[in-house]
Structure 1
Amino acid sequence: MDARTAAPGAGTRTGAASYFLIESKGNWAGPNAGTFLLDAVALAEAGHRVRVLLVEDGVLTAVGTDAPEIRRLAGAGVEILVDDFSAAQRALSATTLSPHVRLAGMDVAAAALTEDGCRGVWH
């Protein structure tokens, strides 16, 4: 099952923290641009539930079928969402994005951030 078909809440680990990380910067934004996504991988590998929402220029990280950052996140069990509005503003559709991501609206982000115990971080 990939992120497109995963049920909301799938992958929740008992006793683990829940993180909702929002990435707004593209890979070219500077020397530390990729470290935020590596933090997401580290949290997932430590047993936490991690969801990443790519917004603004961050959506460009998910373009193509062989995006290394996206593969690394998916391999660690991170649910990867792409803001549908940001994608549309950049003329991206589901067919141009990695198969490991799914388009989502801000309603999904709002619901995630209001879940009990969810820790939200915006970069």
Structure 2
Amino acid sequence: MPEHLLIESEGPAYGPGATRFVTDAAHLVRAGGTTALLLVDNAVFAALPGACDEVADFTGSGGELLVDAYAFHQRALAPDHLLPGARLVEMDEVAALLLEHGTRVVWH
């Protein structure tokens, strides 16, 4: 289980706040923490190649990239277009992460 679970709901099209949040997630990974980043709502677009360099940096640093399957499919996106290492997740898995003792959760 990750030490940190960061949840992004907006994505890069909504301004620099989302990219700064993802950059913070990458800093946590590089500092040695186990960190998962969950993209929900319109942030799922950031899981596509070329959409957000900061997300690619996060995964390249060793972060775990989770993508809300429901939001992803609602936007008619194809799973074979996900960034390498990204994983579609259902809400039951997210609920388990949220309830895991010791996991710190931050939602943006």
Give the TM-score taking structure 1 as reference length: 0.81
Deviation at 1:93, TM superposition (A): 2.2
What is the Cα-based RMSD across aligned positions, in Å?
1.6
Query: Which of 45, 62, 81 matches 1:60?
Result: 45
Does the Cα contact within 8 Å between 2:26 and 2:57 map onto a contact in 1?
yes
User: Identity percentage over the alignment?
Assistant: 42
Query: Which amino acid is 1:115 matched to?
Result: E
Query: Which of 1, 20, 25 matches 1:35?
Result: 20
Residue deviations 1:41-85 (CA, integer Å, cap 9, x gap): 011111111001100010000113675222201121110010000
Query: Which amino acid is 2:49 matched to?
Result: G
Does the Cα contact within 8 Å between 1:50 and 1:79 map onto a contact in 2?
yes
Where does structure 2 lack aligned partners over 5 or more consecutive residues?
none
Q: Which residue of 2 aligns with 1:73?
A: 58
| Alignment of structure 1 residues 88-103 onto 2, 5 Å | 88-103=73-88
Where does structure 1 lack aligned partners over 5 or more consecutive residues?
1-8, 13-17
Worse-matched range after superposition: 41-50 or 26-35: 26-35
Paired residue total: 108
Q: Distance in 1 between matches of 2:36 and 2:4?
A: 6
Q: Distance in 2 between matches of 1:81 and 1:66?
A: 16
Question: Quick check: which has more Rg, 1 or 2?
Answer: 1
Q: Which residue of 2 aligns with 1:21?
A: 6
Give the TM-score taking structure 2 as reference length: 0.91
The structure that is helix-richer by fraction is 2
Query: Which of 92, 103, 106 matches 1:118?
Result: 103
